[in-house]
Chains A and B, each alone.
Chain A
């Protein structure tokens, strides 16, 4: 026996490839949407891995520093260092802002500016070019996602920073590329007031008799100094000693220090289950619609193709073709269409994924389940056409 479906596909090859191509682009979009979600999850994991921390210590009752804002004093880390089981503890700041690149025609890029201390958790691990920070001010390590190159000059708030090192795939949970600068600079950038505001604040303080007491020399200066400097950071990254369970250290921190501490697993939960949950639902909705649209298209195409062959189907039935053979012919055509569509879609997604501004992660496992869904959808979509074909009366082949 020959494959009727195969012969029909070969015979109307052009039509099949063309419709398969159209379907394929749709499948490509679907795979890409799944890839966008995977990319978001992966970005979150990369963010956590790159920070090099076992614990994130943040302000009490917050889920910072990525999902919510958190502010703690910058001397807290010393108390944490004193706890048993803590190997390293370091301050970090995170601030999402527009950074101007003076060397690239003043182009502005949305970035996450990270303040860190060299040699401590929070420092970027691997540089793809350049060197680590050696001066304590006005040097930056930028992710290539910012478009910056070595030697570029970035403007962050009022200061210029020279790019001395480059990283790759260092992005915030929102997908913004990172710029790393010294902690002190970052603290200043985060809380720095402009000159007018500083002058106004000083005038306000001087006008307040409670703060400006000529009988207490030096008080006004001390108050002014404390108002214009920033003693806050967003989080303390902790690395626990070998063989110590991060959770037990986290428990100590929560109990004794009136701070919140998250382990890696808890951070993943915050980032993936909470922070990107809405985005994931959005994508899920999109995927559901795309699956329905694809199904409708396949059903429509196969149904139309089948209606165009009613006469032939009547003849095939009259000369003794089994219903099963006819049904499997239509089913195979639908699956063939799905196969062409899937191949086109997979290629399309692979080709266009790198062009997306945020990371798109095409997981082979997603491709496999995508393929199965395509096949199931095509099989279901063909039932309409199969029903129509099975209803054809072989008597119709004999003229009336």
Chain B
């Protein structure tokens, strides 16, 4: 349990218990994890092992029971939230990528991405410029004015990655981002995430049990029954 001045994300002794008494479930037991900026790590484990719980703790939507979390050099949790406003924490400092793109259907592609800086109070023009820049980096700028429903699944997933990056968060949490994709597309998403992590110096945590992408991680945290074990990955380059 050491506070660090390092950037990136650090978790020490994190525990989460659901419920109480006889029905209590210890979903996380003394979890330790560190991810440095620019790094993409895998969080791998069987169903019910606690992956989603960890992601929800990191995403500040559920409260851990014990432990410490540091984000970008700032302690955000230490036996209690250290940040008064979790909503702005999520908005400004955490990016989310989901299993499905979950774009907002009534906003066009640009505004789906620009919405985040707008929510953070940036002017519309500046927000859209930022969105366009990200869409370019993700190779979907040609669909900038399209409706979400006009996009292919792959394009939608890239737009959702652009959205996660929109407020330049130090960390992105990706929850099974390749689950519904075939091997080729899954690898394409991983290549993009790696590229974005490097380009924007973001720490990315990818929750997965997708065998196709596991070889792409340089570092993997295996989680089983709420405990993590760190291990080196193959870190295979993606063509």
Contacts and interface: CB of A to CB of B under 8 A. Distances in A.
A67 B176 CA distance: 80
A1 B116 contact: no
Interface in A349-400: 393-395, 397-400
A12 interface: yes
Nearest to A10: B106
Given A2-B111, A319-B91, A398-B175, A312 B96 contact: no
B26 interface: no
A317 B61 CA distance: 10
Contacts, number: 76
A218 interface: no
B115 A2 contact: yes
A312 B104 contact: yes
Nearest to B118: A1
Interface residues of B, number: 31
Contact of A394 (B61, B92, B163): B61
B119 to A, nearest CB: 5
Interface residues of A, number: 26
Contacts of B163: 319
Interface string B9-32: 000000000000000000000000
B59 A398 contact: yes
A7 B98 CA distance: 23
Contacts of B55: 398
Nearest to A1: B118
Interface in A1-18: 1-2, 4, 7-8, 10-12
Given A7-B111, A398-B56, A320 B116 contact: yes
B99 interface: yes
B119 A320 contact: yes
A254 interface: no
Contacts of A1: 118-119, 124
Interface in A281-324: 311-312, 315-322
Contact of B52 (A321, A322, A399): A399
A393 B61 contact: yes
B200 interface: no
Contacts of B92: 320
A400 B124 contact: no
A395 B176 contact: no
Contact of A320 (B56, B91, B147, B176): B91
Interface in A321-361: 321-322, 325
5 closest residue pairs by CB, A with B: A320-B91, A11-B106, A395-B61, A8-B106, A7-B106
13 contacts: A1-B124, A2-B124, A4-B106, A11-B147, A12-B106, A311-B102, A312-B104, A319-B119, A319-B163, A320-B88, A322-B87, A398-B56, A399-B99
Interface of B: 52, 55-56, 59, 61-62, 87-88, 90-92, 96, 98-99, 102, 104-107, 111, 115-116, 118-120, 124, 147, 163, 173, 175-176
Given A2-B118, A11-B105, 12 more contacts: A2-B115, A11-B106, A312-B105, A315-B102, A316-B104, A320-B120, A397-B96, A397-B98, A398-B52, A398-B173, A399-B52, A399-B98
